[in-house]
């Protein structure tokens, strides 16, 4: 799956440069867990759809990283995508796409779904889950 805009590689480079301290290698962003790639893709897609600018995203992420630094959290990159997710949740709430209660209900529904799913089987939400 291509995450960034494949039609304009220069735009991709500029977008990545705008992101503070993103874990990457010579080929682009790297992810330790699937949820990290999914959160990354959601932010890119919402920006591409015009829900916020990439500059707005980068500024919000920088503010989140600065707040973590101010709290004394280590800047070793291991929590980068947790900050990415917090930024995404904050922007989604600010733009009224969702609210904290809806996001918590969805998180709890997924947690319940993976707890009842046998190992090696796909996790799916029960019908009617938020």
Residue 130 is predicted with a pLDDT of: 56
Residue 12 is predicted with a pLDDT of: 56
92 and 116 assigned to the same domain: no
If one counts the domains in the chain, the total is 2
129 and 83 assigned to the same domain: no
82 and 115 assigned to the same domain: no
Q: For residue 5, is pLDDT > 80?
A: no
23 and 87 assigned to the same domain: yes
62 and 106 assigned to the same domain: no
Find the domain containing 29 and state its range: 9-98
Q: Does residue 115 lie in a domain region?
A: yes
* Mean pLDDT confidence for 84-101: 91
- Predicted confidence (pLDDT) per residue in 18-60, tens digit: 555 667 677 777 788 888 999 999 999 999 999 999 999 999 9
> Phi/psi class of residue 120: alpha, beta or left (left: φ > 0; alpha: ψ in -120 to 50)?
left
- The pTM (predicted TM-score) of the whole model is 0.68
């Amino acid at each position: 799956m291509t995450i960034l805009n494949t039609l304009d590689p220069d735009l991709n480079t500029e977008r990545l440069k705008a992101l503070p301290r993103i874990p990457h290698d010579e080929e682009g962003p790297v992810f330790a867990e699937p949820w990290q790639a999914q959160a990354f893709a959601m932010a890119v897609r919402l920006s591409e759809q015009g829900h916020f600018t990439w500059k707005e995203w980068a500024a919000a992420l920088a503010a989140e990283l600065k707040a973590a630094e101010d709290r004394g959290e280590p800047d070793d990159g291991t929590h980068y995508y947790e900050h990415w997710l917090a930024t995404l949740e904050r922007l989604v709430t600010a733009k009224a796409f969702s609210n904290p209660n809806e996001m918590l209900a969805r998180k709890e529904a997924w947690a319940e779904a993976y707890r009842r799913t046998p190992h090696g089987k796909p996790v799916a939400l029960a019908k009617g889950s938020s």
